[in-house]
Amino acid sequence: MIRLEHITKQFNNTVVLRDVSLDIPEGETLAVIGRSGSGKSVLIKHAVGLLTPDKGRVFVDGANIHEVSYKELRRIRRKFGVLFQGGALFDSMSAFENIAFPLRTFTGNSDEAIRRRVEECLDMVQLPDIGKKMPSELSGGMQKRVALARAIALEPKYIIYDEPTSGLDPATSNRIDELILSLNEKLRVTSIVITHDMHSVLAIADRVAFIHQARIAWTGTVDDIHRTDHESLLDFVRANEYVIGEQTSASEVSLHP
C-alpha cells in the first residue's frame, strides 16, 4: 500500500501541492487526472521518493521512505516499474537491450536468465519477434509497449504509467488500455495512471483522483463521476469531450468502438 499524508510541495514561490493525502491500496488501478501543470507528476514522484515533500510523509508498505537508509530506499524503488511519457527508450539500444538494461543493472542474473525474462516480457506486451529492432524502427505504439516490457522486467509490485496513451491514435490507445488491464490481471500489480484520456480512465480505472488548485479536490469511481456535482471536475471532463450522465463500469466498456 502507498500512503501520502499531508504532502505540501513548493517550487520557488509556487505551491504545487498543498496538504495532499491519498491512499492507494494494493491491487487498485488509480487514475490521477487534472489539468496540465496541476501537480499530477509531482504527486507521483513523491510516491517513489524522487521528490522530498516540504511537509508531510510518504509510506510504501509501511516504510516512511524519507526516513530509511539509501540502501533501503533503493530496495523500495525496485518495487516500482515506470512507463515514462513517450517511452524514453535508449535510442542506441535494441528493444531487447532496452528491456535487459534494468536486469543487468539491478540483478546478478545470468545472460540466459536475462534472455528468458526479456522474451517473457515481450510476449506479455504481444511483441515476441521485435527484440533485434531499434526504437527508430518501431511505431509510437510499439515503442510504448517495449517501454512497458522494460517497466515490468523486474517484476514490480507497483506500476506507474505517465500519460500512456499520449500521442497515440484511438486504436493504438485501446491496445495500450487492453495491455494495462491484461498485466494487472496477470501480474496482480497496483497501478497508478496519470492521464488526460477520459476513455482510458473509463476503461481501466477502479478509482479516480482529480487534482485541482494544488489539492486532491475529488476522489471516486468512474460511476461516481456520472453522479458528481463537483463543477471543476465536470468542467475538466467535459473539456475532454466525455459524456456525463450514464453510469458505466469499466467491465462494461468495449475497447473496440
User: Do residues 180 and 226 lie in contact, with contact meaning Cβ atoms separated by under 8 Å?
Assistant: no
Q: Rounded CA gap, 65 and 42, in Å?
A: 16
pLDDT at 241: 61
- Stated as kind and residue range, the H or E segment containing 91 is none
What residue ranges do the domains of the chain occupy? 1-79+157-240, 89-155
pLDDT at 243: 56
CATH 3.40.1440.10 correct for 1-79+157-240: no
Write out the three cell numbers for 71: 540502501
pLDDT at 226: 86
Alpha helices (H) in 55-169, listed in sequence order: 70-77, 95-106, 111-124, 140-151
Write out the three cell numbers for 216: 486532491
Write out the three cell numbers for 35: 489539468
pTM of this prediction?
A: 0.87
Q: How many C-beta atoms lie closer than 10 Å to residue 65's C-beta?
A: 20
CA max distance for the chain: 56
pLDDT in tens, the chain (257 residues): 999 999 999 999 999 999 999 999 999 999 999 988 888 989 989 998 889 999 999 999 999 999 999 999 989 999 999 998 777 899 999 999 999 999 999 899 999 999 999 999 999 999 999 999 999 999 998 999 999 999 999 999 999 999 898 888 889 899 999 999 999 989 999 999 999 888 899 899 999 999 999 999 999 998 898 889 999 998 888 877 655 554 444 444 433 33
Q: Which of 152, 169, 143, 153 is nearest to 86 (CA)?
A: 143
pLDDT at 84: 84
* Length reported for the chain: 257
User: Do residues 39 and 52 lie in contact, with contact meaning Cβ atoms separated by under 8 Å?
Assistant: no
